[in-house]
A and B are shown apart, each in its own frame.
Chain A
Amino acid sequence: MKLREIAELVEANFITGADQAEREVSRAFAADLLSDVLAMVQEEGVLLITGMTTPQVVRVAEVMNMGAVLFVRGKLPAAATVEYAMGTGIPLLATRRIMFETCGILYKAGLHAAQRKQMPLDHALPDATRS
């Protein structure tokens, strides 16, 4: 799905990277816990949906070669983080919608979930909920 379509669907603004509106993101992963992003996302080009706005979010997106970051709940990163993101070429978007709504809208419109890596504690789950 193109970033432009994503922005329209959830009424998000480009904080940076508006020139990349035609960029395609393969799939999406939503989390505030960066530890989970680092441990579970295995593909590149994934859209990160998050309410966390620290400088580390953009650095994680950069080292994992993610497609874009979409901030939810009206949260905005600090100016220095935005400036840093410009240098990396990773587009940042922001919506006022909460994470649940944002994910629901995009999922319904056909954006797929990122594949989640098999995790060491998966066998401890009551049943196999991994897809």
Chain B
Amino acid sequence: MPSRTPLVLRRIYPVAPRDLEQAGTVSTEVRRELLALGMSPDVVRRASVICFEGEMNIVLYSQGGRVILLVKEDRVELLFSDDGPGIADIELVSQPGYSTAPDWARELGFGAGLGINNMEQNSDLFEIRSRVGEGTVVRATILLGVPFF
């Protein structure tokens, strides 16, 4: 169910494909926004890690997209939306260790196939929707004030 609690903050950050100079800067900005809002260290850390993984996946695998940060009274939502190529088998790519990272991404230290799993592990709610040829949306939600283990 979409939450109907009031919106505290909304930010949209474009992410360029294969831009390795900039890759990761959205996550550092998201972290600063959450710190400025006085979010707990645990929430800031989890959101930052989720964001970095999601941002890198847009950079490495998509034709470009955007990260959307939504802060509501009871939750932090991060949406990673891209303009393709889409994911044919979401279950397959979500398996730890599965990676199609090209050599140039591996040389930069990525491609362990752990990112999606890591995003899910740090989220309270997690969902991937995709249409081949159109794009992918990953939605990661952290519920505020809910104990996290």
Contact = CB atoms under 8 A, between A and B. Distances in A.
Q: What's the dominant secondary structure at chain A's contact region?
A: helix
Given A54-B20, A121-B96, A59 B52 contact: yes
Contact of B114 (A39, A59, A62): A39
Interface residues of B, number: 29
A56 B111 CA distance: 14
Contact of A44 (B25, B45, B114): B45
B112 A119 contact: no
Nearest to A37: B109
A35 B115 contact: yes
B81 interface: no
B36 to A, nearest CB: 15
A32 B109 contact: yes
B45 A38 contact: no
A7 interface: no
Interface of B: 20-21, 23-25, 27-28, 31, 41, 44-45, 48-49, 51-53, 56, 96-97, 108-115, 117-118
Interface of A: 32-36, 38-39, 44, 52, 54-57, 59-60, 62-65, 88, 119-121
